[in-house]
Structure 1
Amino acid sequence: MNYTKITDFNGTPVVEFSAGGYTAMAAYELGSNIIRLHDDKNGIEFFRFKKDNPAEVIKQSAEVWGLPSLYLPNRFADGILKTSDAVYQLPVNEKAPYNNHIHGFLQKRAHTLVEHYADDNCAVVKTKYRYDENDEFFKYFPVRFLAEFTFTLSDCGLEHKIRLTNLSDKMMPVSFATHTTINSPFVDGGKEENIRLTVPVLKRCLLNSRCLPDGEPVELSGTDLEYINGGRKPVLQNVDNEMYVTGCTKLNGQDFHGVIAEDTESGKKIAYEVSDEYKFWIIWNDKGFNGYFCPEPMTAMIDAPNLEMPADMTGYREIKPQETFEANQRFFTVL
């Protein structure tokens, strides 16, 4: 029976919702984070999750639990954000030697629950966050906008839809990402050494010592190629901010714009599909021995608005007042 219900998770309200054999929890006051996605039929824990994890721990380190959504994501050199009609000085919250602004604010805010419901086909949770003068970050970035999230569970898995609407009289920079934490191992009873990751990489975006792009994307070499053939181990070794231009791979004979994590012993797979707005992947695993890894889809490169590269290369875009940007993701099990 499909359902949605409001409950408490270790100190924060969440909507628990279930459909299609999956159960999830949306922590709307923790940045609309999907703090759990579980395949109940096949024993798969998609995201990094601990049943006894205090909500305060998730709040203090929002980027490394569940499915956190980031605006503005990743790094801006010296905190500077250049748009077509303004220059903003963001706080430098990544200390030396990096000296960057990192990850924005959206994942740190208490969002509003709009509605939740279930029918015979699916279970749906909708949330929103209105960014304006009431947000402490507004003094750095005075561009009003509305972020709307729709999460849908069904036989097709979990769908994550984001809408950003510019409510200001300025151009709104658009770069969006999820700092997706995949549990390791993700199969009940699985072993980390059996995990392999497929990423449809096209070119590598090299990063300098400050984790900023170092020139235009380059041809693939070495371990980059392991992502293409599905041989890359995403844990038990350090994978440190490997950024790529993305393309398509194959899943069940069809083009697939996303990444695939496989437990080679059981053959069970997590398929993580993204819409065409997501043009880049960053792979990161927190040194590799902490029980999770992050395939992070991004709509634009690190520091994109500040780079001396064309927008069709960086993925950077802006939306006019009252315009809306949309992007979608989907997670599902493949046996």
Structure 2
Amino acid sequence: MTAHSKAYEQSYYDEPAVWLEWGPYQAAVLPRVGANLIAFRDTAKQYAVLREPAGDEMDLFRSNSVVYGIPVLFPPNRYKDGTFTWKDRTYTFPINEERTGNHLHGFFLDSIWSVEGYGSNEQESFVSLSITIEEGHPIYAFLPHRFTIQLRYSLSEHGLLQHVLVKNNGDDAMPCMLAFHTTINAPFAPGSAPEDYKYTMTIDKRWELDERMLPTGHYQPLAQEEQLMATTGLSPFWEPMDNHYTSTVNASGRNAMELTDAREGVTLVYDVGNAYKHWMIWNNKATPGFFCPEPQINLVNAPNVDLPQEQTALLELQPGGIWEATSRFYFRTNR
């Protein structure tokens, strides 16, 4: 029997969107708001995995899209005083976090992406999007490199697959720094409560952060509760988190966050693969409702931290070079 499969253009409230459907799954991506994958749902079970804005919240969403869906961060997180020097070139970004005096989250959150194509077949429904930075593009003033970022999302019997590719189109090397500010509902199932949820995450070491939320270059001991991330899990809202970790792998060799709904007897797996060497995790001051496990290539403020590349994971993309990675969401039944 062939699964229902469909890809089409239709507004998400008042925003142009490309929708995907495959079997029970449904997803929507917003090309004009940073290629944000704003929805991933299981329509049969009424699961809503990602935090979505309501119809009367669209202006609020557009003003702060980072706390909805799966926003692209390039470069990710904070940079001291909005500046760093790399390969004898100084980069200067606007300071957009007054509290810390840092630049935060890069330039792609609200950028307009091109839809390269979409479609469906017996195996999947998919959409491909891209954005190219070159002279004359507003982002080029801050990141003076010619490069392309491509995103491909697909739905299949294996859930939601994300493929991201960064290509350096220029004549000189460029820093490749990327993350996703993935915003996950807890609860994601109707009828469940935040108390029904525990998560595990493949963290290794916790970075010490200073008063400006920048790494000091040192690690700090994991709290007893944090150690439960690798074993039985703990509530996403156990305490306020704006924490930064190195990543590791679980017993299956995977780098993943797993969120279990005990009432439903189901686990949402967010497998980000082994290309992301760091995690950020933020839970809105431990406010139940949603939290953000954020896979990140590099250390926060990496170019300004005096540590070897093996620790900062700051990548150098050569002319014509490509960096790519895949991540997947899927459900695992525990009964």
Please indicate, yes or no, whether the TM-score normalized by the shorter chain is above 0.5: yes
Letter in 1 for 2:85: K
Letter in 2 for 1:266: E
Q: How far, CA to CA, are the matches of 1:202 and 1:268 in structure 2?
A: 25
Q: Which amino acid aligns with 1:43?
A: Q
Match of 1:239 in 2: 240
Find the counterpart in structure 1 of residue 24 from structure 2: 21
Counterparts of 1:256 and 1:21, CA distance in 2: 26
Match of 1:143 among 145, 152, 159: 145
Instruction: Read off the aligned partner of 2:295 and give its amino acid letter.
Output: P
Paired residue for 1:334, among 315, 318, 332?
Answer: 332
**Corresponding residue for residue 317 of structure 1:** 315
The correspondence for 2:182, drawn from 180, 183, 203, is 180
**Aligned Cα RMSD in Å?**
1.6
Please give the TM-score of this superposition, normalised by the length of structure 2. 0.94
For 1:64, the equivalent position in structure 2 comes to 67
Match of residue 101 from structure 1: 103
SS state at 2:244 partner: strand
The residue that corresponds to 1:128 in the other structure is 130
Mapped partners of 2:66, 2:266: distance in 1:
26
Q: Aligned equivalents of 1:281 and 1:183: distance in 2?
A: 18
Letter in 1 for 2:222: L
CA distance in 1, matches of 2:123, 2:254: 24
Q: Which amino acid aligns with 1:223?
A: E
Larger deviation: 162-171 or 54-63? 54-63
C-alpha change, 1:170 and 1:162, in structure 2 (3 Å) is same
Match of 2:257 among 249, 256, 259: 259
Cα distance between partner residues in 2 of 1:7 and 1:297 = 29
Per-residue deviation at 1:308? 0.4
Aligned to 2:215: 213
Deviations 1:218-252 (A, max 9, x none): 443332212112332112x54331111111124xx
* Alignment deviations for residues 24-83 of structure 1 (CA, whole Å, 9 cap, x no partner): 001111111110000123332110014425443322111100111111110110111222
- The verdict on how the C-alpha distance between 1:289 and 1:125 changes in structure 2, with shifts beyond 3 A counting, is same
- Whole-Å separation in 2 of the counterparts to 1:81 and 1:20: 47
- 1:164 matched residue in structure 2: 166
The separation in 1 between residues aligned to 2:292 and 2:51, in whole angstroms, is 10
TM-score by length of 1: 0.94
The one of 12, 15, 19 aligned to 2:15: 12
Sequence identity (%): 28
Partner Cα separation in structure 2 for residue 56 and residue 90 of structure 1: 25
Aligned to 1:223: 225
Contact in 1 for aligned 2:194/2:288 (Cα 8 Å): no
Pairing partner for 1:34 from 24, 31, 37: 37
In 2, distance between residues paired with 1:127 and 1:240?
A: 32
Residue 134 of structure 1, CA deviation: 3.1
Could you tell me which runs of 5 or more consecutive residues in structure 2 were left unpaired when the two chains were aligned: none
- Amino acid in structure 2 at the alignment position of 1:226: L
2: CA distance between counterparts of 1:88 and 1:101?
11
SS of the aligned residue for 1:233 comes to coil
Residue from 276, 280, 283 that aligns with 2:281:
283
Does the alignment pair 1:74 with 2:82?
no
